[in-house]
Amino acid sequence: MKKFLLLLCALLLVAGCGKPAATLPTVIGSGSVTIPVYKITAPAAGKVLGLILEPNERIGQGQPLFAIEQPQLDTAVEDAATEAARAEAELNNLESGSGEQALAAANYSLQSAQSSYQTASQNYQKMAALYAQNAIARIKVEQAQAALNAAEANLEAAKAHHARLTTKASPEAIAQQKQTLEQVQQQYQKLLHEQQASEAQSPCTGVVTEKLLHTGDTAAKDQHILTIRATEQCQVNLKLPQQQAETLKIGQQVNAEAAALKKSFPGTITAISGGTVTVTITDKLEELQAGTDVSISLKK
């Protein structure tokens, strides 16, 4: 009987060892919940424009806050946009022959020249016949001949102009214009990016808590203008050994376990600076208040 019991225990131990242990969550650190407060500064030096928000007003994430006046840059952006449009139109003309308006004008000129030539030719034939009958002086024939010559030259010029507009340019000319268009478009995008960089947008959905300047005031670069407190997100800053922080990635999904609430909240790693790892939480904030202690673990 003893032998049987010993054998049974051994089998149970072997069976137990064969089962994988339950996977425990990988806790990376703990900290207290804080509400983010953002200081909005002037992206460039200049006059503040469009700052209409007042303290206690709400603002959505990504909405414009104000702009810094940049007259020379604004003019450069307009000029670059015009140049890009002109270069694109020229490329279209080269590829298709011409624009609709230019081609319509060329068609009208050609039709007019053809009509004038026919009239001049008929008049010359008439004058030549009358001169052969001694019914008119020779000068009348010469005048008719000169008019016919002028009408013919005008017709040839109209034909040549029409042909230029309806004939596609060479592959080399088109390739050169494409390169020109690409260059002016790149310059336009560069200037546009600089212009957009002089406009401030809200980094979060929140409430304005401070307003230090007003529209029309002149700001220095990086001068503090507004303060916004987030209302739809909270953060936890973890202090970790730098070597451990380097194993994490921005965008990684985590769980924030609040022992006092016996609940967990999904979050995302949004910043890593040295050994400081910032986790942002945007779900069920009415339950997760500032100062709540949480432990952060990686999602499996």
Q: What is the per-residue pLDDT across 29-56, written as a single tens digit (0 to 9) for each? A: 999 999 999 999 999 999 999 999 999 9
Q: What tokens were used for 270?
A: 């949004």
Give the CATH number of domain 40-70+197-230: 2.40.50.100
Which residue has 């546009």 as its token pair? 192
Q: Which two tokens stand for residue 161?
A: 């102009």
Q: What is 24-36+232-298's CATH topology?
A: Elongation Factor Tu (Ef-tu); domain 3 (2.40.30)
Which residues lie closer than 8 Å to 24 by C-beta, 6 or more apart?
A: none
What SS3 state is found at 205?
coil
Q: How far is CA 144 from CA 147, 149, 151, 156, 267, in A?
A: 5, 9, 10, 18, 93
Per-domain residue ranges for the chain? 24-36+232-298, 40-70+197-230, 76-194
For the chain, the C-alpha Rg in angstroms (whole number) is 40
Residues 260-281 have a mean pLDDT of: 92
CA distance 91 to 168: 11
**Digit-coded pLDDT (tens) for 196-255:** 888 999 999 999 999 999 999 999 999 999 999 998 889 999 999 999 999 999 999 999
Q: Distance between CA 123 and CA 145 in Å, rounded?
A: 9
- The Cα-based distances of 217 to 65, 144, 192, 196, 197 in angstroms read 15, 77, 24, 20, 19
If one compares 97 and 68, the residue with the highest pLDDT of the two is 68
Residue 284 DSSP SS3: coil
Burial of 103 (0-12, 13-18, 19+ CB in 10 A): middle
Which pLDDT tens digit goes with each residue over 91-139? 877 776 656 667 777 788 889 989 998 998 988 888 787 667 666 766 7
DSSP-derived letter for residue 257 is: E
Provide the total of helices (H) and of strands (E) in the chain, helices listed first: 6, 14
CB 232: neighbour CB atoms within 10 A? 12
CA dihedral 245, 251, 254, 256 (to 10 degrees): 90
Average per-residue pLDDT for the chain: 84
Distance CA 64, CA 195 (A): 14
Return the pLDDT at 64: 92
Do 24-36+232-298 and 40-70+197-230 show the same overall fold?
A: no
Proportion of the chain in helix, strand, coil states, percent, rounded to 5: 45, 25, 30
Q: What is the mean pLDDT of residues 191-200?
A: 89
Report which of 63, 47, 69 is spatially closest to residue 214, judged by C-alpha positions.
47
